[in-house]
Structure 1
Amino acid sequence: MRDGTVASRRIAEAFVATNSSLREFTRENMAPYFHDDVTWQAGVMRLEGIDIFIAANNQAWQTLGYPAVRDVESDAGEDFAVVGCTLAGTHELPMMGQAATGKPIAMPALLVFRLRDGRMAHLRTMTDNAGAMRVAANAG
């Protein structure tokens, strides 16, 4: 396996491990994996910079009640990693205009990481937020 592929796989594995265990993202625990100028594209939202990335990640994880990352599949190449997973949590904070329901949410997610020098330079996430909200609204 080439060095870039090893680094890419390390990023994918670190994403799953970190997101499954942390209760707060900080510059200290994220800096080994992210460039200061990291960008995050999710739908029409684009965030730039590690501090904004960390704040948005903390908000997202709080909204979902610190979800478990499950059903993980990943692949990696020289300068990229792809992770498909399910984020399974509880609707703890308002999301997409809907008040918190306290109900279970499970949403499929696809994450594409682009690396530069072995650390993440860009993250693109695709999630079915609307589907998750329909499930939460109708859960018994």
Structure 2
Amino acid sequence: MAVHACRVLDRHERVLFVTVAELDEARASIGRARDDGYRLVIVPPGVARMLGRPTTGDQPVTTLSRFEARYNDSFAYDFVAAADLTEQEQAVLALARSLLRLAGTRLGGRVKAVRVLRTMRLGPAGTTSAGSG
């Protein structure tokens, strides 16, 4: 009954279904969802698990993991040209070859280039991670 009610609510409102644990563990993602206009609906863990399962015919409801996946899928790489970096940023980038050597690799091998991104996506805990683009 609760799962059906959640599915109906999801079809009619911009809601994000989360558990109490997710409220604490994924503050950054939840903040982004609120900024994007989602209203939080707190559900018990069992209901959350059932909402996360695929169903036939129904659109998947917006759980935290689905919100994060859609958010990260919207990522597009925006690289900064080396000439546009400040002197300090260029000095840091110049350390790349030495750092790669310390890591046991080199430019031109497995690592084709080291570039600076203007934007990043955040993981659930608020740490930066690259998206797909």
Tell me the TM-score range normalised by the shorter chain.
under 0.3
Q: Which has the higher contact order (CA 8 A, sep 6+)?
A: 2
Higher helix share: 2
Q: When the two structures are superposed, what TM-score results if normalisation uses the length of structure 2?
A: 0.23
Larger Rg, first or second structure (1 or 2): 2
Q: When the two structures are superposed, what TM-score results if normalisation uses the length of structure 1?
A: 0.22
